[in-house]
Structure 1
């Protein structure tokens, strides 16, 4: 197996609103019920 000594290239900022919302919904400042509801809304559509 080949070994690559070069460091990985930076991907830069992730520009995905859904990912940003998921991390926001996980914030402990939100009530647990609100976090669950928002997560289910995202998953369920």
Structure 2
């Protein structure tokens, strides 16, 4: 049982990091696009 619980925690941690990375990538992409379009107003 302990091994199953450990695996579950590992998956939760991995899912968290995947979500974090995806959020960061989306944010960086948005920021890059915003900076590109924002340069017209500068």
Place the TM-score, normalised by the shorter chain, in its bin. Answer: 0.3 to 0.5
Instruction: Kindly name which structure, 1 or 2, has the bigger radius of gyration based on alpha carbons.
Output: 2
More helix by percentage: 2
TM-score by length of 1: 0.32
* Larger relative contact order (CA 8 Å, sep ≥ 6): 1
Q: When the two structures are superposed, what TM-score results if normalisation uses the length of structure 2?
A: 0.34
